[in-house]
Structure formats: structure tokens, C-alpha cells
Amino acid sequence: MTLDAQHLAEGDRIGAYTVEATIGSGGFATVYLARDTRDCKRVALKVITATTSTELDSPARRLRHEIEILQRLNHPGICRVYELGQEAGILFMAMDYAPGHTLDMEVRRLGKIPEVRLIPIIRDVCNAVAAAHSKQILHRDIKPANIVLDAKDAPTVLDFGHAIGPDISRVTALGSWVGTLQYMAPELIRNQDATIQSEVYSLGAVLYRCVSGAYPFPRCNYSDVVALKLRSGPQPLGKIVPDVLPALAAMVEKAMQTDPAARFATVGELATALHQLVSGEPLEAVPETTLVVRHRAARNGKPGAKPAPDPDPDTEPDTKPKSKAKPKPKSRAPEPPQLAFPHGKYLWYVEAIGKMRKDKGLVIGDLPEADAQERAAAFSIGEGQIDASLESLRSVLEAIVEATVDQGFIGKKIKRVDQVMRSSGGYRRMADLEPILNEVMTDFDQKHYAEANKGLNGALALLGKR
């Protein structure tokens, strides 16, 4: 009998497992409740149900990647995996069956989750994520839908399909977004590498969603969410939930700071703060300057301005009018032709952006905010939000027109290449990179910035970051 991976029925046998029911399905796999015929134990059977033409992100590769990650982890709050198998051409993974429902389902059911119940749940989630971090593994898609609660509210973290770790091949193209936008840290939108601090941000966003019942950023369109994330933090939790515990609101605000350095240093630190809150132990005060910069006292009439120096009584005041530097005229981006169909304008912008990037020698990562806006445009067009998409692409084109490959640009790019080499083990390829980098430094010293930029692009390509 031929089995259909998408529609396995009760009683169907795959490997050593007998299917009992369907638990749920996602973009590339369906999860079934099954029983192991060898010991009668119930398991969750994740079965590949989709194919893709992209070899890097193929469902089979993602499943093998996930099992490789999970086999390195041993924590009660992380789903255990038993085996990877193939039967009748169907690839499957047998793992722990976590009975219950997701945190996302619970928020939708209740509207919001009482703090006294939620804090221990997220504390335990933090401990599970911290256990992964201790193995240098980053989850990269922490959200309520990937947290399952059992009957006693004990959480289990699921879906390590996008996780990364040492000596583990990636399953997503470099430069592509990984994660869910509402829970994604701003630096990831700028195409920076995932870090422990970006996971702290995601956990803060989960807390925000569960305490308030609202998303951290208004659900309008992708472009607006991206712009809000890059510009500021979410609306203060206390304004949405007036009776929220002030200490909890402070934790969420700290976890979701736009600057990664202003967040909790580790997920374990956030777990400790939550534990202190729920256990009644004294909680260390969070310095205000690391929490709410906008609440600093105004000085000199401007928030955050340096105090003016005291006047020297022996010096006459300078009464000469100071000449103002004339601002440089702003470069104008080309305008799309008058086209009957909005999608025609979208294609025109995409081609114009690609051509101008090539002409200037700009690659992904050179203009992080423009890169983020370009991705947002792609999301918006997928949602049918053509006007928002065109507005994002217009901003991208303007940013590229105004970009100048000068000394400051090259200096930042050299630092970026160095960071990539450190984070990806690139120094092991020094024999290949050294002649390129020597030439870059020669061009930089001689102020041949366009040539230096080409060399740095070559180094990034060699490191797999283009």
C-alpha cells in the first residue's frame, strides 16, 4: 500500500510506529501522534510533506539539521529526539510527544495570561534556552507557537529547525531573515548575526505578548513593523496593562531594548530575575539609564544634551555671527515611469535597485536599514500590500543613491569582515584571504576606495557572507 505523507490515517504503519492521530501541520512537515510498536510508548512523528527546489533549505535537510541539534541537547524543557528514519520514500523523525497546547493557543483562548501563572512558565523556558546556549546553540525562532504547555504548565521548547551552533551546517541562505517578525530583534532585521542578546529580545517579546494579549508592534504591514523596530521600542507595557507589576514591566522593557548591549547579558540572567520576582526574593534595581533613555532629565533644553560650560568671567563673549555650513544638496533617486499596473512599478524598483547596487559595488550588509526595508517590501508584496511595498523600495533606492563609498564606509566594512572572520572561523582560511586583504589595505592607504570595496566584497564572498 502506498502511503501519503500528508494524509496518514489511524492505523497506518511507518517504520516501527503506528499512527494514531494528526497533531498539526506546518510549511514543510506534518506531525502525527504515533505509538512505538516496540515498547508501546507514544511519540510525535514529524513527517516531511513538502519539497523545495532550494537545496540549502530543503525539508529533508532541515529535518536532518534539527535532529543533529536536538541530539546535542539534554534538558527536560527541550523536546528529545529518538530517531531519524525513512519508510516507503517518506522521511520522518520520532521525538518526545508533548501533550498539551501551545502558549500561543493559550493567549488566544484567554486574551492574556495572568502574571502569577506566566512568570514561572517563561522562567522555565529561559532555563531551557540557556541550556541550549551552554552548548553554543541558538534557537533563532523563539515565539509562543514554539512553546508547548502540559497539564501542569511545564513548558517544552519545540522546533530547532532554524537553530545554529558550532560545526553545524546552516539550512538557510546567508542574508535571509530567520524567525518571526514580531519576536525578531532589530539587529537581525539589519542583517547582523544572531546572538544570545537577540534571543533575550525574543523572550521579552513573548512576555509582552502573553502579559498584554497584544503584539509588541501594531499589526499593520511588514514595512511599518520594520520601521518601528528600527526606530524605537514597543509601547511601554504599563500603558497597555496599567496594573502590570512594575518590576515585570521593567524586565520586559530591558529585554526589548533596541541596543543589544542594554538588554540582559544572558537568558540565564533574565531567568534569575523572573525567579526572584516569583519567589519573593529581593530583586536588584535595574539602572534607569539602561531601561528608559527617554526618561532622562532634560538639560540645556534638550533631552540628553551635555550641560553648557560655565562662562569664563575674564573672557568677553564672542558676539560675531557664526556662518552656517551649507547643507549638501540631497541626491535624488530616479522616479519610476508612469505605469498602468502597480506591480510594474514594483518590478521597475527591483531592477533599478539591483543595477544601482551593482554600479556602486554595494552588497547585502553594506546598508543594513536599506536591506531591512527591501526585505519588508518583499513581505508586503506577498501580503498584497503594494503601496507599502513601493514606499519601502523608494526608501531603499534613495538610500543607495545617497550612499558614498568613502573612507568611513570602507573603515566600517573592514571591521565587518573582521567580525565575520571571528564569528565564522574565517581565520582558518587566512591563506586564501591574506592576499586579498593585503591588497585592500594598500588600496585603502592610497585612497582607492572603490577598489578596496571590490576586494572586501571578494573577501565576504569567500567567507560566504554575500
The Cβ-side half-sphere exposure at 33, using a 13 Å CA radius, reads 11
Q: Which of 57, 124, 141, 366 is catalytic?
A: 141
Residues 265, 105, 146, 84: what is their CA dihedral angle, to the nearest 10 degrees?
160
Q: In which element (H, E) is residue 87 found?
A: strand 81-87
Give the span between the Cα atoms of 106 and 153, in whole angstroms.
11
Active site residue 141: yes
Count the neighbouring beta carbons within 10 Å of the beta carbon of residue 397: 23
Non-local CB neighbours of 332 within 8 Å, separated by 6+ positions: 401
Q: Which residue in 19, 21, 99, 94 sits closest to 63, CA to CA?
A: 94
Contacts within 8 Å (CB) and 24+ apart, 36-39: 36/82, 36/94, 37/13
Distance CA 268, CA 270 (A): 5
DSSP for 344-385 reads: HHHHHHHHHHHHHHHHHT--TTSSHHHHHHHHHHHHHHHTT-
| Residue whose grid cell is 512599478 | 345
Q: Round to whole Å and give the CA distance between 14 and 92.
A: 9
Active site residues: 141
